[in-house]
Amino acid sequence: MLEFDYRNVKAEILGDENGLNIETEFNNYNEKIAKIINDLNSRKDKPGQWLQWMNLGYNEETVWLVKEYAAMINGRFDNVLVLGIGGSALGGSAVCEALLKPYWNLLTLEQRNNLPRIFFLDNIDPDQINGLLDILDLKKTLVNVITKSGSTAETMSQFMIIKKRLEDELGDNYRRNIVATTDQNVGVLRQISNEEGYKTFVVPDDVGGRFSVFSAVGLLPFALVGINIEELMQGVKDMDLALKNTNIWHNIAAQNALIHYLMDTQKGKNLTVMMPYSNRLKYISDWFVQLWAESLGKEQDNYGNKVNIGPTPIKALGATDQHSQIQLYNEGPNNKLINFIRVKEFDTTLEIPQIFEFTGVGYLGGNTINSLINSEADATKVALVDYQRPNVTITIDKVNPYNIGQLLYMLEVQTAIAGELYNINTFNQPGVEQAKNYTYALMGRAGYEESAADLKQKMSY
């Protein structure tokens, strides 16, 4: 299992102003946490609760279906191009970055075991899209368009551009290069897919985008590039089992949720920094930032009171950001709770040769880069404590599918528990919808005429 170390949030270590009396708090909240965990588990199968993500680990059918499809098309494509945004892209790119060999897309076909390269297009910068289209041979590219709603402007505009090009290049056969992941029944993409006869996979009901990485949204791209999705899902299931424990002393997701909640509401630490000490985990921070921000940043609580709450997530990367952000974290406002992710054992070892022996860098020789990165993580933690800055550490043994499944699922459950502590709706995103609707209005979508008039007036101020 993952290890979770919360020593550096304790009042004994940080003092009363910045630290928590963990023993008292855990005991005080134990009953409430148990109620939250029982409640989440008892509501998860009810329609409309948006908790189906808690069942995804057990969805063997999807695992089987995506593997069957991946096997069927094996060898036909040089590239997979994923079109999606937000929850339809962040989990996919985070897991691929973590689990594929570094610089995957630059490896030869042989080095990639005959598996395709993978690209995530999650923005609508014309230069970026044109740049990618310049280097991709679309004839040899499988396009996986992912949108739960089926109508997100960014994703669908990308798809319209690429579909037209595929048609121009491949004639009637273009359909073979498209696979859509969307709602089972509703939405424009579902309608287009049915009419055009695309191969499709389903984003299950009651799974929000940011909680969808273990559905076909993530599993299909992972299977296409050879990631071991059974191991990934085993990690999810084992973590799910562990997090059913209602005793906070034995539930790491509940512990970290409560620590964040109390640090925010009692100690003024309303910024959450996610800082893995592993380049391969770099995009896990991007995924977490969306999960934490969209889930917990809310205007109203569950009683309809205006609360405007939510900790602000920040992404950082060790050791790189020691030379960028750590100055602020040590000496700037003491308003952050830093989450380190540590990797015990890297896949490879890299020795630093003993050259320049009698110089100021001589001490590095004979050491490994592995020990350097982990020493830097330790040193940063201790320095933060010297400045009374709270921090927690999640440690994984190795970066592998099983541990990544555990890590991501733990952070999902942590987010859901934190949402209950804040007493808000973790699973909606009215603040995102608002801007989406304004975009539709600006771009002339039918049915948004009233918003368009309202917007025009507001933009003329």
Catalytic residue annotation: 294, 323, 436
- Residue 333: CB minimum distance to ligand PA5, A: 29
429 contacts ligand PA5 (rule: CB under 6 A):
yes
Strand order in the sheet with 312-315: 3-5, 391-396, 336-343, 271-276, 312-315
CA-CA-CA-CA torsion for 57, 61, 67, 72, nearest 10 degrees?
-160
The interface mask with ligand PA5, positions 210-229, x = CB under 6 A, is x-------------------
Residue in 19, 57, 86, 235 binding ligand PA5, rule: CB under 6 A: 86
Show the tokens assigned to 395: 């440690």
Residue 34 or 186: which CB sits closer to ligand PA5? 186
The strand pair at 312-315 and 271-276 is best described as parallel
Residues with Cβ within 8 Å of 371's Cβ and at least 6 positions away in sequence, in order, are none
Q: Which is nearer to ligand PA5, 26 or 159 (CB)?
A: 159
Please list every residue from 315 through 354 that binds ligand PA5, using CB under 6 A. none
Q: Residue 85, interface with ligand PA5 (CB under 6 A)?
A: yes
Q: Which is nearer to ligand PA5, 155 or 426 (CB)?
A: 155
Judged by CB under 6 A, which stretch of 85-93, 255-263, 266-274, 309-317 contacts ligand PA5?
Answer: 85-93
For 303, the 3-state DSSP assignment is: coil
| CA atoms of 247 and 65, how far apart (whole Å) | 37
Total residues interacting with ligand PA5, rule: CB under 6 A: 15
Select from 145-153, 276-284, 314-322, 357-365 the region that touches ligand PA5 (CB under 6 A).
145-153
> How far is it, in rounded angstroms, from Cα 284 to Cα 12?
31
As measured in angstroms, the least distance from the Cβ of 203 to ligand PA5 is: 7
Question: Distance between alpha carbon 68 and the CA centroid of its chain, in Å?
Answer: 26
Q: Which of 209, 313, 401, 419 binds ligand PA5 (CB under 6 A)?
A: 209
Residue (92 or 276) nearer to ligand PA5, CB: 92
Helix, strand or coil for residue 64? helix
Question: By CB under 6 A, is residue 147 in contact with ligand PA5?
Answer: yes
The residue among 210 and 298 lying less far from ligand PA5, judged by its C-beta, is 210
Residues 57, 91, 204, 208: which binds ligand PA5 (CB under 6 A)?
208
Establish how many alpha carbons lie within 13 A of residue 265's alpha carbon, considering only the half-sphere containing its beta carbon: 14
Could you tell me how many helices (H) and strands (E) the chain has, helices first?
16, 12
Q: Select the span of 34-42, 161-169, 206-214, 251-259 touching ligand PA5 (CB under 6 A).
A: 206-214
Residue number, 208 or 311, with CB nearest to ligand PA5: 208
Place of tokens 């539930």: 251
C-alpha span between 400 and 71 (Å, rounded):
22
Q: Which two tokens stand for residue 97?
A: 């970055």
- Enumerate residues 152-191 that contact ligand PA5 by CB under 6 A: 152, 155
Stretch that binds ligand PA5, among 131-139, 149-157, 242-250, 369-377 (CB under 6 A): 149-157
Apex 46 CA angle, 40 and 50, nearest 5: 65
Could you give the C-alpha distances from 103 to 116, 279, 284, 352, in angstroms and in order? 13, 11, 17, 22
Of 295 and 400, which has the nearer Cβ to ligand PA5? 295
CB of 348 to ligand PA5, least distance (A): 34
We find the least distance from the C-beta atom of residue 86 to ligand PA5, in angstroms, to be 3
In angstroms, give the least distance from the CB of 154 to ligand PA5: 8
Closest distance to ligand PA5 from the beta carbon of 17 (Å): 36
Residue 101 corresponds to which tokens in the numbers above?
A: 């060999």
Q: Is the dihedral of CA 224, 409, 58, 234 positive or negative?
A: positive
Q: How far is the CB of 199 from ligand PA5 (least distance, A)?
A: 18
Least Cβ distance, residue 149 to ligand PA5 (angstroms): 3
Nearer to ligand PA5, 92 or 208 (CB): 208
Q: Which residue is nearest to ligand PA5 (CB)?
A: 209
CA distance 449 to 437: 11
Q: Specify the stretch interacting with ligand PA5 by CB under 6 A; choose among 43-51, 83-91, 320-328, 418-426.
A: 83-91
Helix H or strand E encompassing 163: helix 153-170
The answer to whether the CB of 405 falls within 8 A of the CB of 234 is yes
Q: Which residues contact 327 (CB under 8 A, 6 or more apart)?
A: none
Nearest approach, Cβ of residue 49 and ligand PA5 (Å):
15
On whether the CB atoms of residues 319 and 373 are closer than 8 A, the answer is yes
By CB under 6 A, what part of segment 278-317 binds ligand PA5? Answer: 294
Stretch that binds ligand PA5, among 79-87, 247-255, 379-387, 406-414 (CB under 6 A): 79-87
Measure the N-to-C terminal CA separation of the chain; round to a whole number of Å. Answer: 56
**Residue ranges in contact with ligand PA5 by CB under 6 A:** 85-88, 147-149, 152, 155, 208-210, 294, 429, 432
